[in-house]
């Protein structure tokens, strides 16, 4: 998983975020609408500020306050310690929770009600890693220090507590890997709507 380099300026990231939202949401009509009325974008932008502060130990309280304000404004809770890649898009967003040690790669999309949570009270890595190009359906729970491989899809309301191979589709409670239809190639798997699997 690649995490965006610190040398990438905020204007580049802003343009990437807007392009990613426009590409992934057919309801997006204009740039002003995206800038003003997309809480998923706002939550990511607030997280970037909070995460920058989180990296300075004496500013961690300020990071938590900014993160909490972001949750109040958007209904999306992203811990300031979480690592978020480029072009991350949260569609609708209400009820999304992303824990402190979660890692989200580039070009990841998640829907409302998703939890990237922990399963233990121990210190250290306790939240999931989503590699590049992962899609997570509405209401899914990915719990513990599991890895969801690049291009994998997690169906709506699935509960994932084990690693998911790259390109797989996971459904159910507990989540289980479901094979792709024979007509779908691994590159096409990146564009399958996880809602069709339940």
pLDDT in tens, 67-122: 999 999 999 999 999 999 999 999 988 999 999 999 999 999 999 999 999 998 88
Closest CA to 116 of 150, 76, 152, 87: 76
- Cis peptide leading into 115, omega within 30 of 0? no
Q: Domains for the chain: give ranges and CATH numbers.
A: 10-197 (2.160.10.10)
Sheet holding 129-130, edge to edge: 83-84, 103-104, 129-130, 147-148
Q: What is the mean pLDDT of residues 49-72?
A: 97
Please say if the pLDDT value at position 124 is more than 70: yes
How many other CB atoms sit within 10 Å of the CB of residue 148?
28
Given the residues 112, 123, 127, 191, select the one marked as catalytic. Answer: 112
Active site residue 112: yes
Please say if the pLDDT value at position 181 is more than 50: no
Predicted model pTM: 0.84
Looking at per-residue confidence, does 62 or 122 come out higher? 62
3-state SS of the chain: helix, strand, coil percent to 5? 30, 20, 50
């Amino acid at each position: 998983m690649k995490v965006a380099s610190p040398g990438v300026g905020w204007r580049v990231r802003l343009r990437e975020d807007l392009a990613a939202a426009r590409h992934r949401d057919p309801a997006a009509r204009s740039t002003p609408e995206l800038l003003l009325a997309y809480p998923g974008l706002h939550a990511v932008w607030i997280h970037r500020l909070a995460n920058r502060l989180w990296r300075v130990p004496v500013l961690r309280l300020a990071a938590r306050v900014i993160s909490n304000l972001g949750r109040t404004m958007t209904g999306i809770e992203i811990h300031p310690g979480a690592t978020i890649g480029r072009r991350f898009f949260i569609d609708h967003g209400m009820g999304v929770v992303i824990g402190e040690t979660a890692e989200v790669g580039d070009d990841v999309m998640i829907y409302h009600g998703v939890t990237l949570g922990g399963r233990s009270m121990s210190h250290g890595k306790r939240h999931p890693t989503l590699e590049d190009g992962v899609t997570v359906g509405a209401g899914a729970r990915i719990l513990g220090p599991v890895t969801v491989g690049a291009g994998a899809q997690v169906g709506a309301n699935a509960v994932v507590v084990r690693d998911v191979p790259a390109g797989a589709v996971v459904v159910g409670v507990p989540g289980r890997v479901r094979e792709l239809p024979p007509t779908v190639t691994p590159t096409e798997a990146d564009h399958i709507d996880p809602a069709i699997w339940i």
